[in-house]
Each structure stands twice: as structure tokens, then as C-alpha cells.
């Protein structure tokens, strides 16, 4: 799947899309994609639009699943109960908090032998590349990015994800 900012949610990324389309059109032309997903599904806009129904949609994905989380050491990603108290089990694979791409081969090796049902990744731009690589290897993997922080922003009055420190304090 190819994700892009969605006009459905807001217009703030239209300039970015316009500025980058010249370079992206050659990549997109080589894909068989006919539909695109919204990159905003892990953002506050999603929860503003769908509310509790959006929470339930996410929860349905990992209901009773054994999940593996891949994130940076000291990451602000959190398995908050409001989203994740319905998983069967979880384990975490930590990597570098910054420049995680330099550790991608190690992560791929670890995930190839992982026996979890679902892999959730919160690792910045590296997550997209890792998700693509692992999907090619038959793994069920989702880049959940700012999901927990977005939930906290909308339902608990927390800061926008970008306003948070990269690492927990």
C-alpha cells in the first residue's frame, strides 16, 4: 500500500504533495497501486474525525494477537491500555533512538524469526522501509507511528506528537 496525506482530513499537506509530486510520479508509475491509504490514520485528525469508533477500529486489528513492538530505545511510544489492553501478549525489540536505519539489517534478521502474530513499528521514516521489507517476507506489520501520542492528544489533552521529546524523560 502507498500512503499519502489525505485531503479528507485537512489541506495542510497539499503543498508538500504538490512540491514532491514531480519526483514521486516516476516511483508511483512503477507500482501497481490503484488506491492509496491516508497517512493520517495514526494522527490526531483520525481520532477527531472518528472518535471512539476510530479507537475500536484500531483495537480490532490486534484483538487477542501476540504482538511485537519495534521502537527506539527510550521511545515515547506507549502501549496505553485505552488502545492495547486487548492484546494477548507483547514483546519489544529496541533499536537506536536516532538513525535507526543504520540498524535495519539487524532488525530484519530479528523479525524474520519472530513468532508474533503482528509487528507494530514506531520508528520514524525507518518504520516505512522496515514495514515494506517485512511485508515482502510475509510478515503482518504496521507502522503505527504517533498512534498513542495522537490518542493522548485528542482524548487526554496531551501535546501534539511533534511537540513531544523524541525520548521519554
Q: Is 134 in the same domain as 71?
A: yes
Q: Is 80 in the same domain as 151?
A: yes
Using the predicted structure, report yes or no on whether residue 31 has a pLDDT greater than 90.
no
Give residue 9's pLDDT: 47
Using the predicted structure, report yes or no on whether residue 126 has a pLDDT greater than 90.
yes
Q: Is 87 in the same domain as 119?
A: yes
Q: Is 69 in the same domain as 146?
A: yes
Give residue 15's pLDDT: 63
Using the predicted structure, report yes or no on whether residue 55 has a pLDDT greater than 60.
yes
Give residue 11's pLDDT: 55
Does 149 fall in a domain? yes
Query: What is the mean pLDDT of the segment spanning 107-135?
Result: 95
The whole model's pTM is what? 0.83
Does 169 fall in a domain? no
Mean model confidence pLDDT for the chain: 87
How many domains does the structure of the chain reveal?
A: 2
DSSP secondary structure string, the chain? -EEE--TTT-STTHHHHHHHHHHHHHHHHTS----EEEGGGGSHHHHHHHHHHHHHHHHHHHTT-EEEEEEETTBS----HHHHTT-SEEEEEEE-SS-GGGGHHHHHHHHHT---SEEEEE-THHHHHHHHHHHHTT--EEE-TTHHHHHHHHHH-PPPGGGS-SB--
4: containing domain = 1-42
Query: What is the mean pLDDT of the segment spanning 22-31?
Result: 74
Does 61 fall in a domain? yes
Does 8 fall in a domain? yes
pLDDT category of residue 163 using cuts at 50, 70 and 90: confident
Query: What is the mean pLDDT of the segment spanning 138-167?
Result: 89
Stronger pLDDT, 57 or 39, i.e. the higher one: 57
Amino acid at each position: 500500500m502507498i500512503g499519502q496525506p489525505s485531503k479528507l482530513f485537512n489541506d495542510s499537506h497539499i503543498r508538500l504533495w504538490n512540491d514532491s509530486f514531480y519526483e514521486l510520479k516516476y516511483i508511483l508509475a512503477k507500482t501497481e497501486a490503484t488506491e492509496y491509504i491516508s497517512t493520517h490514520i495514526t494522527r490526531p485528525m483520525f481520532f477527531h474525525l472518528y472518535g471512539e469508533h476510530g479507537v475500536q477500529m484500531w483495537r480490532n486489528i490486534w484483538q487477542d494477537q501476540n504482538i511485537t513492538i519495534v521502537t527506539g530505545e527510550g521511545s515515547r511510544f506507549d502501549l496505553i491500555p485505552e488502545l492495547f489492553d486487548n492484546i494477548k501478549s507483547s514483546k519489544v525489540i529496541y533499536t537506536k533512538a536516532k538513525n535507526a536505519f543504520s540498524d535495519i539489517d539487524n532488525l530484519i534478521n530479528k523479525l524474520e524469526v519472530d513468532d508474533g502474530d503482528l509487528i507494530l513499528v514506531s520508528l520514524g521514516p525507518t518504520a516505512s522501509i522496515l514495514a515494506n521489507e517485512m511485508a515482502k517476507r510475509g510478515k503482518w506489520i504496521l507502522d503505527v507511528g504517533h498512534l498513542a501520542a495522537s490518542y493522548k492528544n485528542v482524548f487526554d489533552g496531551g501535546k501534539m506528537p511533534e511537540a513531544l521529546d523524541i525520548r521519554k524523560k
